[in-house]
């Protein structure tokens, strides 16, 4: 699903002394079936941005086009069920949203809420539990008897069970160990390669470098950069102003530059860094 923001502004607490801008005249397009990362400092407006996509927030001014749906300040909450079925959101610490007495019921909740029969919802639960790396024996367990990482997987399975076209990830790997993070990110990359649109909010620049096709940088509610990760991470104006941090591979390349290595562009993945080093060592 292609998603377009057209001059979108969002103001919090309009008319009060605490009024503030969450988004300031943002125009951008999130491409269909691509993996787009949205980065920026804490409080920059990333979460505000993505909550407009499924109308959890409405713009103060401007328009969002999500597929064939238009969202404006006049959009009401009626008839949003089809939009929200097609745009799934995995919140930071999604396990806090678990509430049923079994894993199966928790995963079934989304599909049944959107009109699926009990039989169809059970089939979805059986399929999704495997997709997130757990076997079917977990379906009859209480989600509250699971480890934190397992609860995270169950919560993600619940979002995927409704088969959304677009999946929004708000720091989905927060608190996970490196192995768990790699597995979860690999799952979402695989879903994107199978035709889903993935939108990732993250502070982890290595995840952006390794998984994203496109990236956008938000600062103080403004969109300040978009493009291919390799190009954006080489924007010296952003780096000098501390508006963007670098993936570990690019940081290491900067250190190597002071030791005689030369990089036309900072490599942003381990594979790209290794290739550049081998070329300069004559291998």
The token duo for 274 is: 């290794």
Task: In the chain, count H helices and then E strands.
Answer: 11, 10
171 counts as catalytic: yes
Q: Which residues pair with 64 in a beta bridge?
A: 5, 71
The token duo for 264 is: 């036309």
Cα angle 258-260-263, degrees, rounded to a multiple of 5: 85
Beta strands in the chain (DSSP E): 3-12, 20-30, 35-39, 61-66, 69-71, 87-90, 166-170, 197-201, 214-219, 222-227
Give the span between the Cα atoms of 155 and 272, in whole angstroms.
34
DSSP assigned state of 47: H
Give the span between the Cα atoms of 162 and 111, in whole angstroms.
5
Active-site residue (options: 95, 171, 183, 251): 171
Are 212 and 36 within 8 A, CB to CB? Answer: yes
Give the span between the Cα atoms of 80 and 55, in whole angstroms.
8
What positions carry a catalytic annotation? 171
């Amino acid at each position: 699903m292609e998603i377009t923001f057209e001059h979108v502004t969002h103001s919090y607490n309009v008319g009060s002394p605490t009024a503030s801008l969450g988004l300031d005249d943002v125009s951008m397009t999130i491409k269909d079936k691509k993996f787009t990362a949205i980065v920026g400092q804490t409080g920059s407006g990333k979460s505000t941005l993505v909550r407009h996509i499924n109308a959890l927030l409405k713009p103060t001014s401007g328009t969002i086009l999500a597929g064939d749906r238009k969202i404006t300040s006049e959009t009401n909450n009626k008839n949003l069920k089809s939009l929200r079925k097609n745009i799934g959101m995995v919140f930071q610490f999604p396990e806090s949203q678990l509430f049923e007495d079994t894993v199966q019921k928790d995963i079934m909740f989304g599909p049944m809420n959107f009109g699926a029969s009990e039989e169809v919802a059970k089939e979805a639960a059986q399929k999704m539990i495997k997709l997130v790396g757990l076997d079917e024996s977990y379906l009859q367990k209480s989600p509250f008897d699971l480890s934190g990482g397992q609860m995270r997987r169950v919560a993600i399975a619940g979002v995927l069970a409704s088969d959304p076209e677009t999946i929004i990830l708000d720091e989905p790997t927060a608190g996970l160990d490196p192995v768990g993070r790699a597995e979860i990110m690999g799952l979402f990359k695989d879903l994107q390669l199978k035709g889903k649109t993935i939108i990732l909010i993250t502070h982890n620049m290595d995840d952006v470098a390794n998984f994203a096709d496109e990236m956008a940088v938000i600062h103080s509610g403004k969109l300040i950069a978009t493009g291919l990760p390799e190009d954006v991470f080489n924007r010296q104006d952003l780096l000098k102003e501390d508006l963007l941090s670098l993936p570990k591979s690019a940081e290491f390349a900067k250190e190597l530059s002071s030791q005689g290595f030369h990089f036309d562009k900072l490599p942003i993945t381990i594979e790209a860094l290794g290739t550049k080093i081998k070329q300069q060592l004559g291998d």
